[in-house]
Structure 1
Amino acid sequence: MTSDSPGPPELGAVVVGIDASPQARTAALWAAAEADRRGRPLHIVHATDTDRRAILSSADTIQALRETARELLAGTADAVVERFSGLTVTKELSRQEPVAGLYAAAGNRGTIVVGSRGLGGFGALLLGSVGLGVAARTKVPVIVVRGELDRAETGVITAAVYGASDLDWLTVAAAEAQGRKASLRLLSVCNVLAHVGSVTTMLDDVGGIAEQRVHEVSAMADRIRTRCPGLTVTHHVETGTSVPGVLVEATAHTDLLVMGTRHRVFRAGPALGRTSHALLHHGHCPVEIIPPDFVVAGDEP
């Protein structure tokens, strides 16, 4: 967070990747609601990967594929406009493979939305390396739409935090909460077993570890309250032996869980760790992943 000036950052446009699966249609409608809250357009993308397929497929096959894709885009856009009549909706038939197509559409400020399952391409998310690559290597926020979307809203957005470095992306979570007129809950899990034989020996007892974390998270909550005076911000530190387990359970009691990813070691390989994978596979609500160094309008120096 580069400034404590009042007000949340300005969130960008919403880009949703679709295929012919029911989960993709659900993700598109969820993304439409998100775009509507932000006062931003919705961009619907379907990637056919025809640049690569053209090498092995006939011209008639590629043409049929494109026609089917156009029908899918049109049908999805119609379903969105029927529910959100005032929303600006655009469509794109990308010739690139799914990950590259989404990255190109989102640019530097957009938010990418994908479903949790599908029929390949975008639908490989959670089922294969292509989909996980969207969340693991992106430079913009990615939201994976999970859970029962017809459940009652809780009015709470949860941010999974660890330490002061999370302030860099917490304003995004604050903006998500304010857009929904919801409260923001900072949740940190203190895995005491991770400190056995090291930090624990320097503290009076195990409770000292949690007390130190409470102090850190409380300070973060105060910073967010200063930045967003009208936002209700609560904080909680829970001790346990499984950080993924605690956070997955928390997704059953919130409308959106937001978390940041860490810098890749030597900038090689995916940035998603065990906790992120658990939430993307097993979360009960949509999960938003914020990449390192993401900057939104209003947070630039």
Structure 2
Amino acid sequence: MESNRSGLELGSVVVGVDGSEPARRAALWASDEAARRRRPLHIVYGSDIDGRVLDLSAEDAERVRAKARELLDGTAAAVQDRHPALSVSTEFSRSGPAMSLRRAAGTRGTVVVGNRGPGGFSTLTLNSVGLKAAAEARTPVIVVRGSCDEANHGVVLAAVRDEYDLDCVRHAASAAELRKATLRLLHVRNLLEAVSSVARTLNKSDAVAGAHEQSLEALAQQIRDEYPSLTVQTDALEGVSVAGVLVEASRHADLLVMGGLRSPSSIGRTPGRATHGLVHHAYCPVELIPRHSDEHRNEAS
């Protein structure tokens, strides 16, 4: 298994298919990513037959299986035509889609999902499977947005909040190196929070901003040391919506990488507000990196 100088290991690329056009685009994008990484591509169809055992007859279950096999074989053929040397495998799972993808990814795989499922209207942005996978995965999850054949901007964008994002930035650096792209580290300061801070303590806002900029530059320097051939840029911007600033920045990136914090809710773990906004509205694929070191903290932006 390949790894870089910081010990980052890249496992198989696992993509879910369901017969929708967004899932087809995600599979093609995932095949490009697997080829870049020189890792296998695993294509999964999560049928949830086990979860619908009381509703499906044996004949219905067999029809689901046959349709899924046809879809899996067709997708495998399409990506094999695109990348003849790529190692491709397929899996029909009786479990639900999100669980099937997590299990297939194991401890080092990367899960890739489309931004919509087959049952929604065209105005819907991210299906429930994608949200569930993004919220619960313990390995990176990439939500493919936009066309898999869009123009190459030559930039990988990493959203940086604080020093806990080093693992996220390393994933972004690895992606930029594979693409021969520039790595842009972007910290967004929420102006509404800054106003609140000023109301409490006049000089506290500037001190916090300075600390964030120092953390950003420290992360950048560590990445420059680990990836000496990589061009690393840093930016600190302000806005009333962190997600809005990042969405606009994604117009000029090939991939946006961010820490996928999970905020507690009444229905379990879900993506935080900024994460939720990005996977719904970004102009490029979004890679969410689990942040295990500070899960006790809620995402404030």
TM-score (norm 2): 0.88
Q: Structure 1 residues 214 and 203 mapped into 2: Cα distance closer, same or farther (>3 Å)?
A: farther
TM-score (norm 1): 0.88
SS in 2 for 1:230: coil
CA deviations on 1:111-139 (whole Å, 9 max, x unpaired) are 00000112159x9x954544311101110
Distance, in Å, in 2 between the alignment partners of 1:262 and 1:20 is 29
The alignment status of 1:246 with 2:245, answered yes or no, reads yes
CA deviations on 1:58-117 (whole Å, 9 max, x unpaired) are 211111111111000000000000010000000000111111111110001000000011
**For residues 277-292 of structure 1, what are the structure 2 equivalents within 5 Å?**
277-292=276-291
Q: Retained in 1: the 8 A contact 2:43–2:76?
A: yes
Q: Percent identity?
A: 50
Paired residue type of 1:23: P
- 2:299 corresponding residue in structure 1: none
Q: Retained in 2: the 8 A contact 1:11–1:172?
A: no
The alignment status of 1:293 with 2:289, answered yes or no, reads no
Q: Retained in 1: the 8 A contact 2:113–2:142?
A: yes
**For residues 17-28 of structure 1, what are the structure 2 equivalents within 5 Å?**
17-28=16-27
Distance, in Å, in 1 between the alignment partners of 2:27 and 2:147 is 15
- 2:178 corresponding residue in structure 1: 179
Query: Residue 201 of structure 1: CA displacement?
Result: 5.1
- 1:166 corresponding residue in structure 2: 165
Q: Structure 1 residues 182 and 8 mapped into 2: Cα distance closer, same or farther (>3 Å)?
A: farther
- 1:190 corresponding residue in structure 2: 189
Q: Structure 1 residues 271 and 117 mapped into 2: Cα distance closer, same or farther (>3 Å)?
A: closer
- 1:143 corresponding residue in structure 2: 142
- 2:297 corresponding residue in structure 1: none
Distance, in Å, in 2 between the alignment partners of 1:127 and 1:148 is 15
Distance, in Å, in 2 between the alignment partners of 1:271 and 1:226 is 35
- 2:132 corresponding residue in structure 1: 133
SS in 2 for 1:153: coil
Distance, in Å, in 2 between the alignment partners of 1:130 and 1:31 is 17
CA deviations on 1:17-41 (whole Å, 9 max, x unpaired) are 0011111111001000000010100
Larger RCO of the pair (alpha carbons < 8 Å, separation 6+): 1
- 2:40 corresponding residue in structure 1: 41
Distance, in Å, in 2 between the alignment partners of 1:229 and 1:112 is 28
Paired residue type of 1:68: K
> Unpaired segments of 5 or more residues in structure 2?
294-301
Distance, in Å, in 2 between the alignment partners of 1:97 and 1:270 is 17
Q: Retained in 1: the 8 A contact 2:263–2:272?
A: no
Query: Residue 212 of structure 1: CA displacement?
Result: 3.5
Q: What RMSD over aligned residues (CA atoms) do the two structures have, in Å?
A: 2.5
Distance, in Å, in 2 between the alignment partners of 1:248 and 1:53 is 38
Query: Residue 180 of structure 1: CA displacement?
Result: 0.9
Query: Residue 219 of structure 1: CA displacement?
Result: 1.1
- 1:80 corresponding residue in structure 2: 79
- 1:117 corresponding residue in structure 2: 116
SS in 2 for 1:148: coil
Structure 1 residues 87-96 or 49-58, which shifts more?
49-58
Paired residue type of 2:51: R
Distance, in Å, in 2 between the alignment partners of 1:160 and 1:191 is 13
Paired residue type of 2:46: A
Query: Residue 286 of structure 1: CA displacement?
Result: 0.2
Q: Structure 1 residues 107 and 120 mapped into 2: Cα distance closer, same or farther (>3 Å)?
A: farther
SS in 2 for 1:20: coil
Q: Retained in 1: the 8 A contact 2:168–2:257?
A: no
Paired residue type of 1:119: P
Distance, in Å, in 1 between the alignment partners of 2:79 and 2:102 is 22
Paired residue type of 1:83: R
Q: Retained in 2: the 8 A contact 1:8–1:228?
A: no
Distance, in Å, in 2 between the alignment partners of 1:261 and 1:89 is 28
Query: Residue 230 of structure 1: CA displacement?
Result: 1.4
Query: Residue 171 of structure 1: CA displacement?
Result: 0.9
- 2:273 corresponding residue in structure 1: 274
Structure 1 residues 190-199 or 79-88, which shifts more?
190-199
> Unpaired segments of 5 or more residues in structure 1?
295-301
Q: Retained in 2: the 8 A contact 1:168–1:293?
A: no
Q: Structure 1 residues 224 and 203 mapped into 2: Cα distance closer, same or farther (>3 Å)?
A: farther
Structure 1 residues 189-198 or 207-216, which shifts more?
207-216
- How many corresponding residue pairs? 288
Distance, in Å, in 1 between the alignment partners of 2:173 and 2:126 is 30
SS in 2 for 1:270: strand
Paired residue type of 1:176: A
